[in-house]
Structures are given as structure tokens and as C-alpha cells.
């Protein structure tokens, strides 16, 4: 079941198939939701997608996600059909429950180091949000964003591999990708058509090119202009979550 619209306040509760297939509740432009989508796609796990309007959540959504959070994954084949939330919790659960194409390293120390690196994305997220979602970002917003991003350029250099996961895409790669997919939208939402410096971030930009060719990412990704369209609606205080979907005529 993939209804290409976001359910919102007043929307009737959808009739969900009781077929034992996972249910993913998400918002199309939520990078945390994209994390869950990427893991599901990379592991070829069948699932239904139910899109939720985060500005006006449907009243029935708390039946599935008591805190109203996305992403949420309902385990319909498990007794009681529990729901798990938080993107990293979901990603780790799926990686353990569906071990084919393991994304986290098996070594406990390496896994711990990768989880720490994922957490180190937080300063970059905080730094880039004013640039993406405010009409008049602070003057120091760009330098703060670039300084936070240096961590990942240095780490990729240190690891000496094309991906953070090594010679193949790993969990770190998928967990940080949603924000890197959005960074090119800066050239559409900022007056000076900003792009990452090709010398300062040479390894990250090469990594970005490699990641863009991944089948799971190609299945989920949106063009930077579509991201920019959404950002403009959010900046105006009226986020249009359905802008990514084809326009249908009744």
C-alpha cells in the first residue's frame, strides 16, 4: 500500500492490509524517514508506506506511533504488532533482523565507532538547517556548516576507502546520506547559488557521486530542485509535503 499523499488531520484512517508485511510511516521530505527507507530498500525488505503530514497529523496516527513521530515501523508479523520509532533504532533492528547484506560491521568496536560517527553528524544538521529553512540565515551560518562538515572529510581521508563503510556502502553511509542529498539544494535557496568547495571537500564530493549511483539511493532520492521547492514552502510557513508526488487530476 503506497498512497501518494500525506494523511493529515481529518483524514480517515486507511484500511491497511493485514498481510504480515512491515508498515513504514514516514514523511517524504523527512531525512530521518529516509534513513529507514534506505535500509529497507538496500535489504529488499517488502513494506507498505503510509505518509504522514507532520504539521497536521491525523488523529489516528497515535494508534501506531504514540509520540506521533516518524519514521515508525510497525512489525505486523510480530505478536501484538508493535511499532518501533527513532531512525537509528529502526536501522539497527532491521540490520539485525534481516542479516543479508549486513550494514553495520560485525566487530563491536568498529560498530561502536560507526555509531559515534553517525552522532557526530548532529552539529552539521544544526548548522545547515538555518540555511535550508530560514529566509534570512545568520551571517556565520555557512562557515559553521563547512566547519562541521570538515569532520567527515577528515574521517573519509583517515579511513582511506571510497565509502565510510569501506569498499562497500555501510550503515554510516546510509545514515548520513539524506542530508548530503539535500546540500545541493543550497544553490537553489541561497542567493549566491552556493556549492561545496571542490578542493576542501574533494573526498566527500567523490563519495557523493559514488553514493548517487547506489540502487537503493536511486530508488528513494529526490532531485535537489524538488527539495528546494519543499524548502521554499516551509520557509513560507506552509510546508507542502506532497510537492514530491505527481499531480493527479480527479
Active site residues: 30
Q: Is the dihedral of CA 210, 215, 216, 218 positive or negative?
A: positive
Distance of alpha carbon 168 from alpha carbon 151, whole angstroms: 20
Contact 130, 141 (CB under 8 A): yes
> Which residue(s) pair with 72 in the sheet?
25, 85
Contact 178, 153 (CB under 8 A): no
Distance of alpha carbon 196 from alpha carbon 202, whole angstroms: 9
Amino acid at each position: 500500500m503506497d498512497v501518494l499523499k500525506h494523511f493529515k488531520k481529518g483524514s480517515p484512517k486507511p484500511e491497511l492490509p493485514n498481510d504480515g508485511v512491515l508498515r513504514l510511516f514516514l514523511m517524504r521530505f523527512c531525512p530521518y524517514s529516509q534513513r529507514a527507507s534506505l535500509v529497507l530498500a538496500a535489504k529488499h525488505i517488502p513494506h507498505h508506506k503510509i505518509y504522514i503530514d507532520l504539521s497536521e497529523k491525523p488523529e489516528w496516527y497515535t494508534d501506531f506511533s504514540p509520540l506521533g513521530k516518524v519514521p515508525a515501523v510497525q512489525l505486523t508479523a510480530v505478536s501484538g504488532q508493535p511499532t518501533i520509532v527513532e531512525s537509528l533504532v529502526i536501522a539497527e533492528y532491521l540490520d539485525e533482523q534481516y542479516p543479508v547484506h549486513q550494514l553495520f560491521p560485525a566487530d563491536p568496536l568498529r560498530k561502536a565507532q560507526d555509531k559515534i560517527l553517525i552522532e557526530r553528524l548532529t552539529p552539521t544538521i544544526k548548522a545547515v538547517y538555518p540555511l535550508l529553512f530560514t529566509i534570512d540565515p545568520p551571517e556565520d551560518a555557512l562557515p559553521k556548516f563547512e566547519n562541521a562538515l570538515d569532520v567527515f572529510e577528515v574521517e573519509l581521508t583517515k579511513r582511506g576507502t571510497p565509502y565510510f563503510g569501506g569498499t562497500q556502502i555501510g550503515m554510516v553511509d546510509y545514515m548520513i546520506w539524506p542530508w548530503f542529498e539535500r546540500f545541493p539544494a543550497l544553490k537553489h535557496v541561497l542567493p549566491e547559488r552556493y556549492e561545496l568547495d571542490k578542493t576542501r571537500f574533494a573526498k566527500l564530493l567523490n563519495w557523493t557521486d559514488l553514493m548517487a549511483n547506489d540502487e537503493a539511493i536511486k530508488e528513494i532520492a529526490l532531485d535537489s530542485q524538488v527539495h528546494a521547492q519543499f524548502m521554499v514552502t516551509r520557509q513560507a510557513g506552509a510546508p507542502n509535503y506532497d510537492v514530491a508526488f505527481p499531480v493527479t487530476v480527479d
